[in-house]
Amino acid sequence: MPKNQSNEVPKTDFLQTIEAPVNIQQMIKASCYDCHSNNTNYPWYGRVRPFAWLLQQHIDEGKDELNFSTFQEYSGRMQREKIRSMISQISDGKMPLKEYLWMHPEAELTNDEKEQLIKYLEKLNP
Ligand code: HEC
């Protein structure tokens, strides 16, 4: 299975271009980048079927909806839509995906972290 990995941080990367504060970057990287970027930090179960397939499916579908690595390639309107959608997914507790959190408790956002993230995203003025 080809891996979703890249050593480069592209110029079109969301966190890179918006110059987010370090704590915001860490939250989004830890909680969202595995499925929504061109660089997955593969866990041990990434070598174990059927978990590996499930993860790959999440990456494929997740990137289809939102790819942080190529965020700047979206039109301005699309970027605003994606940011609004991030806010609602986070506040509804839909993202990060529940199945993922079973294996990645470190990706779970506390209420306080969710609040910080949402506030930050709202400031981007979507
Ligand atoms: C385990 C993989 C995974 C993780 C981790 C993950 N997502 Fe997703 N995300 C998906 C998948 C799969 C979809 C598409 C299917 C769906 O909506 O359930 C998606 C869809 C989305 C969408 C588009 C929803 C829409 O229809 O508008 C947004 C926005 C999003 N995710 C934001 C986030 C944010 C923000 C985080 C981190 C806080 C995150 N995701 C973490 C897999 C993931």
In this prediction, residue 125 carries a pLDDT of 79
Q: How far is the CA of 96 from the centre of ligand 1 (A)?
A: 6
**49 contacts: CB under 8 Å, gap ≥ 6:** none
Say whether pLDDT at 3 is over 70. Answer: yes
pLDDT > 90 fraction of the chain, expressed in percent and rounded: 73
Is this prediction's pTM over 0.85? yes
Looking at per-residue confidence, does 81 or 42 come out higher? Answer: 81
Question: Is ligand 1 within 6 A of the CB of residue 20?
Answer: no
95 CA → ligand 1 middle, Å: 5
* CB count in 10 Å sphere of residue 18: 17
Q: Chain-wide mean pLDDT for the chain?
A: 92
pLDDT above 70: residue 72: yes
Which protein residue's CA is at the shortest distance from atom 7 of ligand 1? Answer: 96
Measured over the CA atoms of residue 109, residue 110, residue 116 and residue 121, the dihedral's sign is positive
Q: What is the CA(112)–ligand 1 centre distance, in A?
A: 20
User: In this predicted structure, what is the pLDDT of residue 1?
Assistant: 58
Closest atom of ligand 1 to 55 CA is 1
Question: What is the C-alpha separation between 2 and 35, in angstroms, rounded?
Answer: 15
| Percent residues over pLDDT 70 in the chain | 99
Cα(90)–Cα(71) distance, rounded to whole angstroms? Answer: 18
pLDDT digits over 6-61, tens only? Answer: 877 888 999 988 889 999 999 999 999 999 999 999 888 888 888 888 899 999 99
